[in-house]
Amino acid sequence: MAAQRAYTTHPLVLRRVTVRRVEEVTPRMRRVVLGGEELAAFTRDGIDHPGFTAPGFDDHIKLILAADGDVRAALPAQLPHGIEWTPAEHRLTRDYTPRRVDHRAGELHLDFVVHGEGPAEAWSASAREGDELWFVGPKSSLRLPERLDWILLIGDETALPAIGRFLDERPLDAPAHVLVTVPDEAARQEPVLRDGDTITWVVAEPGDAAALDAAVRALPVPAGEGYVWAAAESRALLPVRRYLQRERKLPKDRLNITGYWHREEAAAAEAPDTADAAAQGPAEIPSPLPWLVARAALRLGVVDAVADAPGLSADALAARLGVSGTGIGVLLPLLAAYDVVVGADGGAGLRLGPAGEELLDDHEREEYTGHEAELLLALTHLAPAVRDGTSPWRLAAGATLHDTVTHDADRYAELVEECEQLVFLLTGLTADPLWADVGTCLLTGPGSASVVAALDDAGRRPRLRIAEESVPAEVLRGHLTAPDRIDWTAGPADVAVAAKALAHRTDEEAVALLTRLAEWTGTAVLVEASRPDGLSPHAAEAALHAYTATGSPLRDSAALAALAGRSGWSVDRTIALGWGTEATVLRRA
C-alpha cells in the first residue's frame, strides 16, 4: 500500500473581504483583520460556494493585487468548481498564511512584516477600515504524521504567523521545539508554550543562510520519531535542507521545507535607458552553456559528491566518481564560473557554491535531469521536425514519447508525479451529474491516481479498473493508497476517464486509444490541458512543450473534437476545471 496523502484538498473559491481593523503586533509585524459575508457560504452569479476553511496551521491563501490599481481586471474567473487564471497583464499575487480564522466572529487575521518589501506589504501599510481585498484558497492543508514524539518548527519572521497558529491550536499533541531568526529583538513575540516546549530566538539579518544553518545545527536532537517544518527565505533554507536530509538522514515524509520568500540580489548596475539600449543593439540571446554544464554536473554526481565530502581536490573528485581527471578539469572552471562550486582553483578544496546548494533540491534538479530536461534536449531537432511534420522527440529518441515512457518506469513515474496537481482541479468533474448511474469506471493515463484520489474525496465509490500496459500499471500501483481494490485488467465500464493520457501521444496514438476505449464504454472523459495556465510565468512555452512531445500544440476543444470524430466519438460537452484544464465528455457517435 502506498503512503497516505500528505495533504487534504479544499474547493477553490474567489472571495471578497474588507478590512475591519489594523493592529500593530510588534514594531515589525502588522495584523490586518478582515471580515465579510463571503467568509461564510455565499452565492455569486448563480453559483453556490462553501464557507471559508483553512484548518492547517501553514495553509496559505493567494492575495490578488494589481500593479495598476485595477484589481477587478486582475481577478481570475470563478468556475462552479474551481478557478481559471485568465491572462491579466497587471495581476500580482502573493501567498500569505492566516494567523487566525475566527468563524464565530466571521474574521480572518493576516500578519504582514512591516519592514518587508513588495505589493502585499504596501497594501497592508495603507489598509484602512472598509478597504476590500480579494483572495483565493487555500487549495490544500498539510496532514502531519500520526504518533510523533516531537516536532521542530524553524523559520524567520515571515514564518511567525504559521508557528504562532500551530502553538495556539496544537494540531499535534507532542512537544514543540521552535527556532526563529529575527532581525532585532523588537520582532520577538510571546507565543503560547506548553510544558516540554522550547523556543530559541536568534538575531540575524533576513535571509542570512549561515546564521540559520548554525542555529539549526546547535539544536539538540530529540529522541524518538519527529517531524521538521521549516519556512524562511528560499536560499537561506538550502543548507538547512542539506543538513537535515544528508546528515540527520530525515526521511522525506518527516520533513516539510518551504521557501516563503526570495531575496532579490541587487543589480550590479542600473539598466540602461531606452536610447542607450538601442545604441547597444538588440538583446543578446542567452547561451545554453550554463544549463548544459549544470546538467553534466548532476548526471556525473559532482554536486552530490561535493555535498557529501566537502574539501575534495579535483583529482580526488574524479577518483570518487570514477571519471576522467581531464574531463573534470575542463568542467570545474565552468562550474566555478556559474557558482555551482567554489575552490576550483585549489586552496581548501571544493565546496558547493550558491547555485550548487540549490541543485541539491529535488525540484531544482528536475529542471536539468527530469522529463522536462529531456524535452528541452529534444528541441535540438526542432528545425528538422518542423520541416518533416513530426515531433522533435521522435527525431531525438527514434521513437514516440508514448513508446518511450511505456517502457521506462522512471519516465512514466515522472508523468504521474506531474499529474498530482490534478487532484486540486477535479472537483468539477467528480461533482458532475454523469456519475449518478456509474457503477464501473475505467481509467487510463498518468493522471489515473489523481482521479482515484478525487473520487475518494468526493465520496464516489464506483468499481475501478485500469487499462494500462505493464510498466505504467506497475507505476500507478505504487501511487495508489489501496491498489488491491482495483481491477487491473481492461474491460466494459459505464464510463472511461483518460487523465492526461493524450498529452504524451501523437494524434495517431490518441486516435488508437480513443478507438480502443470505444470497445469498452459508450461514455468517455478526456482530462487535458487545452490552453496555458494564465498564472504561469512559462505560459508562452506550453505550446512548444506540447509540440516537442507529440508533434501537436496544446490541443484545444476543436482539436480534441477532431480526434474524437476520427475514432467514432462525438463531443457531448466540456467541463472547465481551471488552470487551463478541461474535461471533455464524449459519447459514442
Task: For residue 116, give the amino acid letter.
Answer: G
Q: What percent of the chain has pLDDT over 70?
A: 95
The model's confidence at residue 217, banded by pLDDT at 50, 70 and 90, is very high
Which of 539, 523, 545 minimizes the C-alpha distance to 580? 539
3-class SS of residue 360:
coil
Question: Average of pLDDT values for 1-29?
Answer: 85
| Distant-in-sequence, close-in-space partners of 508: CB < 8 Å, separation ≥ 6 | none
Res. 207: pLDDT tops 60: yes
* The domain made up of 389-585 is a member of CATH 3.40.50.150: yes
| Mean pLDDT confidence for 510-533 | 94
Domains 5-140 and 148-259 share a fold: no
Q: How confident is the model at residue 273 (pLDDT cuts 50, 70, 90)?
A: very low
pLDDT tens digits, 224-239: 999 999 999 988 998 8
The answer to whether residue 117 scores a pLDDT higher than 80 is: no
pLDDT at 267 over 50: no
Mean pLDDT of 193-201: 94
Residue 215 pLDDT greater than 90, yes or no: yes
Model confidence at 5, pLDDT cuts 50, 70, 90, reads low
Mean local confidence (pLDDT), 462-475: 95
pLDDT score of 370 more than 90: no
Average pLDDT, the chain: 90
- Nearest Cα neighbor of 256 from 283, 237, 276, 269 is 237
Q: Give how far Cα 50 sits from Cα of 47, 422, 500, Å.
A: 10, 21, 29
Beta bridge partners of 296: none
The predicted pLDDT at position 223 comes to: 87
Residue 77 is predicted with a pLDDT of 93
Q: Provide the 10 A C-beta neighbour count for residue 379.
A: 17
Q: Domain ranges in the chain? A: 5-140, 148-259, 288-365, 389-585
Question: 561 phi and psi, to 5 degrees?
Answer: -65, -40
In the sheet with 14-26, reading across from the earlier edge strand, the strands are 91-96, 61-66, 132-136, 14-26, 29-35, 107-113, 98-102
Any idea which of 18-27, 329-338, 354-363, 396-405 has the lowest mean pLDDT?
Answer: 354-363
Average pLDDT over residues 111-134: 91
pLDDT tier at 275, thresholds 50, 70, 90: very low
* pLDDT computed for residue 346 by the predictor: 67
User: What CA–CA distance (Å, rounded) separates 213 from 100?
Assistant: 29
Q: Which fold has domain 5-140?
A: Elongation Factor Tu (Ef-tu); domain 3 (2.40.30)
Q: Which residue, 315, 152, 158, is CA-closest to 234?
A: 158
- Using the predicted structure, report yes or no on whether residue 480 has a pLDDT greater than 80: yes
- What is the distance, to the nearest Å, from the Cα of residue 308 to the centroid of all Cα atoms in its chain? 27
pLDDT band at 432, cuts 50/70/90?
very high
Residue pair 216/179 in contact (Cβ under 8 Å)? The answer is: yes
Please give the distance of CA 464 from its chain centroid, rounded to a whole number. 28
Domain at 288-365, CATH from 1.10.10.10, 3.40.50.1820, 2.170.120.12, 3.40.30.10: 1.10.10.10
Q: Which of 291, 343, 278, 338 is nearest to 313 (CA)?
A: 343
Architecture of domain 148-259: 3-Layer(aba) Sandwich (3.40)
